[in-house]
Structure 1
């Protein structure tokens, strides 16, 4: 059994190219997902987290399976993805202009017991989905809701009358 140590550890692609490819893919996917799915739907995991997990898994798999990349290429790509994940999270906490994109503001879905269909369409939430969330929080009738908001993390907050 022979191990091709050069194929394992010597980058098969120029280092800068790996960094640029990782950067472009992370940023493009982040923007596409932020525009398409403004809210992930869970307060415990965010869009950046989901993207990081998916890209790291794909990058690591290629390096482990020796599909056209060395281990060094895979490590470099994972490090690049990790860098951008941390950097965007850092910007989201410290740069006001970026915060609005990274952490979407709440969107009102109900006002004074009345649904706001335009806002619900914007977030692709149906009346049934909203009523389900209401019931989960122990609210029986929509007329009892003064305001309901789709939060930046995808959860729905109800303020009763």
Structure 2
């Protein structure tokens, strides 16, 4: 026997358990510590996996689920303790929500800030690191937004809720680094560093487009992956063409 037998409908056990009433104050402390710790962990892990839920909302769901689940199955968990924990979680949520509305610092800490990932067809590698995204993650999200090449993108922001907002050119986008097809299936053909190229080329490290008139050199971003032909429509030509040198001018 692990302990004394459980007496059904023992009201003192159901509501208070075998602990002194002062333990209710400890529950307040425990709930506050765990709830704030959970928020901090969610803030540190980033927003990329939150989808439509903010860190605060996800913490509420987890905390409410845990506090509401235990008293349903464990007779040693008094109902009053669980009810207090649930009320505290909701109270903390209301308090933090009010603080987020009234304080920009609290809002920034709780929800983070939008991050600009792409500007005028050039993506920012440092911004990708801050957003905890890889280049392939960015390209996948751009394809989901209907983008075929980076020249189409005027701005792309990684929002506080983990979604990507894309502002594209309405008509006649300049050529850029292709993101279609996915590079895992077909990586863009690299320009040979030993053969002259005359026309627009896109840096494979940042997407910057430059007009080359000779041997490809180093990009201003400092990358060393090389160059590929800048394209306006990667799907226009099955061979990967779609932009010939001198047909269009970026910008």
Q: Which runs of 4+ in 1 moved over 3 A?
A: 38-41
Aligned residue pairs total: 160
- Tell me the equivalent position of 2:31: 22
Q: CA deviation at 1:138?
A: 1.4
Larger Rg: 2
Aligned partners of 1:27, 1:143: CA distance in 2, in Å?
Answer: 43
- Tell me the equivalent position of 1:7: 13
Alignment check: 8 A CA contact 1:40 1:47 kept: no
TM-score normalised over the length of structure 2? 0.59
Deviations 1:127-151 (A, max 9, x none): 2221121122211111211221101
Given candidates 101, 110, 116, the residue that maps to 1:108 is: 116
Deviations 1:81-109 (A, max 9, x none): 11112211111111122122123221011
**CA 1:128–1:72: 2 relative to 1, 3 Å:** same
Runs (5+) with no aligned partner, structure 1 = none
RMSD: 1.8
Given candidates 143, 161, 176, the residue that maps to 1:153 is: 161
Structure number with higher helix proportion: 1
Q: CA deviation at 1:53?
A: 1.1
User: Larger relative CO (CA 8 A, sep 6+): 1 or 2?
Assistant: 1
Aligned partners of 1:2, 1:102: CA distance in 2, in Å?
Answer: 44
Aligned partners of 1:41, 1:157: CA distance in 2, in Å?
Answer: 16
Stretch of structure 1 that moved more, 121-130 or 76-85: 121-130
- Tell me the equivalent position of 2:200: none
TM-score normalised over the length of structure 1? 0.89
Q: CA deviation at 1:8?
A: 0.8
